[in-house]
Amino acid sequence: MNIAVVVSEFNEKVTSRMLAVAQEKAITLKLKILYTCKVPGAYDMPIIVDSLLQKNDIDAVVTLGAIIKGQTKHDEVISHSTAQALTALSIKYQKPVSLGISGPGMQERHAYARIRPVAERAVEAVVKISYELKRIQK
């Protein structure tokens, strides 16, 4: 299975570690990462994900990011709009797009604690969803 990974550069100390975990998990699951794309923040992911999903050699896209709470509700706006856009793209192209984005409402210490579980589940999710899509489309 060929996948792409889109990772946010915002909160890079967290997301770079998420990327390393996702790459390890992909190797374990015998997935081939054809593209690793970096974007400024989670909000910027949908346009890159859209482009990747149009490629015939990409079966799924893993997204990785960490949206940490600030002094306003901006984290909620970013989280909700990004999740909604990624869901719409997954449905449009009938290809899995995982939501490996932690937050909203998360403090920085929580982001570090979620690096491994969120990144691993994001990779596992595209495999499981891909399997189910193939199973029901036969």
107-128 tens-digit pLDDT: 888 999 999 999 999 999 999 9
* Cβ pair 29, 52 in contact under 8 A: no
8-45 tens-digit pLDDT: 999 999 999 999 999 999 999 999 999 999 999 999 99
Q: Which residues are catalytic?
A: 74
pTM, entire model:
0.95
| pLDDT value for 69 | 83
User: How many CB atoms neighbour CB 27 within 10 A?
Assistant: 12
Rounded percentage of the chain residues whose pLDDT exceeds 70: 99
Distance between CA atoms of residues 94 and 86, nearest Å: 12
Tokens of 48: 């890159």
| pLDDT value for 126 | 98
